[in-house]
Structure 1
């Protein structure tokens, strides 16, 4: 049974059918109301009707807020939390989940590409996509599809191939010594010796370091799907650097945040007149040096923690001129 009732300037549709919840919705015109009525009755008669009321009541902002409260705390790192908060401020976050479609996110993608990198946009879209996965699979939102799966992802730029040029390492270390942050030089030296990521270095604790066996245990390291730990072998030079450090009462090896490392590193590069180098490039440098020292792929991946050969190759930039010398 269905009815359309005029209420002021709107038309209220009410559809009742045994075995289904009562469906009500208001429209500005009678034609829209009649079209909606026919669609709902047809879906119910074919037993394909899905209750969309929760999706209609819930905005993307609401979904992101719940995701931030329930899902983010069990995930590693803070970057995704920052992305969630930025997405909550977007105009499309005020729209209901039932309203949002692929065209809205395609417009969002194009607007973002005019101000940030393709990688940043892909990360944001990936976060939204996972929110929809949770909505559909775990939170029981009916009638939803994942709109991110229907749009093109921005093409990634070519992988970085920046390494330290001749003379840059010495200038960089000298600039570290000239700065106010006493932790920067040992961080830079350890990054080059171990290929550790910034977060792995700043997350190290003395209780996880065995200087006698020259091994450090890294807990909850970056991984595509899991929280894992891995043991990293330390060179004699790395052990020497660690032995020279003062011990902090809180047990951390480096009492500095990741953002603090990045800012101090950028200032050091400025003082050293080094252009286009990031702290993460030191991981590329270290990985490439391991191969140049004759280590095979298994040994290098055991040090760097790369999960696939493809990623290991991406972090390795062997200099053609060095290979040419070996060729003779």
Structure 2
């Protein structure tokens, strides 16, 4: 049976109404509300669930704040994820938001929507916001399945996600490839040339080819320069089989990349003078700066090193590869993502119509 009683503070001031539901075979459920009618409504809903046999224990979710749940997530879940270094930064930012003080069970879609507006006001882009929401959503799924919070509804599923901007469609046009490579030779950055050509031949990500460092936040929120990729190693290369095996990729899945004859030739011409086993003895940060300088020298505008992955993926389709074959090389998990990286030239498609 349910009982509704007033709750007072130390000065005997009424602060709310506590509802208690006591039913044989069930643990005692209780919750305090500011209004008596809300306490009565809650008690009736609990009793109805018990009558129908669909009652679920809410105590854990109703007494665990989002901040505390995020701390547990940081201790138990993030260490098992390959993207943990990046996710810890998103997690700490969630903990600083007003929503973090709320109990897990009390957070609704409108609360998450408010957080989205906060992030937009802070200048965060749609994709960054989506990554923050992905972490929060996974936290709720874990809490529901593994942390005795089976009554939880995932509030992230109730909000509209920021719309991603249309993907870049920048490809090399006309004689840009020739001009870019010539600029590398003229600008005393010939070491950049094989990295550019290898990226075009393989569609590998910059972090898969090159050693990469980023500033990530530690547990206290301080920025720390951290290596996030070792880059391609000679031990990953099998020249006889013409493959490069990548054990650590952005999406977390290992893959083996087939190498073209041109890619093999590039590798055979590279010196093996790096003690740490790297194929390309430089970092993505150095490549990025040198790439921008050479583009300027060659008179090429709005071209990024990452655009070479778009170029390579599109060339695979122009060579006749089907989506399954292309995705096996590039590592795209979904056709939608593969489509964002594929930009076929209309003039090339027109030739196939003859």
Task: Work out whether residues 193 and 238 of structure 1, in 8 Å CA contact, stay in contact via their aligned partners in 2.
Answer: no
- d(CA) in 2 for partners of 1:22 and 1:264? 67
Select the residue among 128, 140, 145 that pairs with 2:153.
145
Q: Which runs of 5+ in 2 are unaligned?
A: 211-230
> How big is the alpha-carbon RMSD for the aligned residues of Structure 1 and Structure 2?
3.4
Partner of 2:130: 122
Q: TM-score, normalised by structure 1?
A: 0.81
What's the offset of the Cα at 1:97?
A: 0.8
Partner of 2:115: 108
Q: TM-score, normalised by structure 2?
A: 0.76
Distance 1:23 1:308, change over 3 A: closer
Residue 93 (str. 1) matches residue 100 (str. 2): yes
Task: Work out whether residues 256 and 329 of structure 2, in 8 Å CA contact, stay in contact via their aligned partners in 1.
Answer: no
Task: Work out whether residues 61 and 105 of structure 2, in 8 Å CA contact, stay in contact via their aligned partners in 1.
Answer: yes
What's the offset of the Cα at 1:137?
A: 1.4
Distance 1:309 1:141, change over 3 A: closer
Distance 1:143 1:178, change over 3 A: farther
- d(CA) in 2 for partners of 1:135 and 1:255? 44
Residue 20 (str. 1) matches residue 26 (str. 2): yes
What's the offset of the Cα at 1:218?
A: 1.6
1:161-195 deviations in Å (ceiling 9; x for gaps): 11023343345446656889886443322111211
What's the offset of the Cα at 1:219?
A: 1.6
Distance 1:31 1:3, change over 3 A: closer
Task: Work out whether residues 144 and 150 of structure 2, in 8 Å CA contact, stay in contact via their aligned partners in 1.
Answer: yes
Q: Identify which range, 83-92 or 195-204, moves more after superposition.
A: 83-92
Select the residue among 289, 297, 302 that pairs with 1:276.
302
Distance 1:22 1:308, change over 3 A: closer
Partner of 1:211: 239
Task: Work out whether residues 11 and 33 of structure 1, in 8 Å CA contact, stay in contact via their aligned partners in 2.
Answer: no
Partner of 1:296: 321
Residue 68 (str. 1) matches residue 94 (str. 2): no
- d(CA) in 2 for partners of 1:302 and 1:273? 35
Task: Work out whether residues 136 and 144 of structure 1, in 8 Å CA contact, stay in contact via their aligned partners in 2.
Answer: yes
Task: Work out whether residues 4 and 33 of structure 1, in 8 Å CA contact, stay in contact via their aligned partners in 2.
Answer: no
Task: Work out whether residues 193 and 235 of structure 1, in 8 Å CA contact, stay in contact via their aligned partners in 2.
Answer: no
- d(CA) in 1 for partners of 2:317 and 2:36? 72
- d(CA) in 2 for partners of 1:242 and 1:94? 58
- d(CA) in 1 for partners of 2:276 and 2:111? 47
Task: Give SS of 1:4's match.
Answer: strand
Distance 1:260 1:102, change over 3 A: farther
Partner of 2:226: none
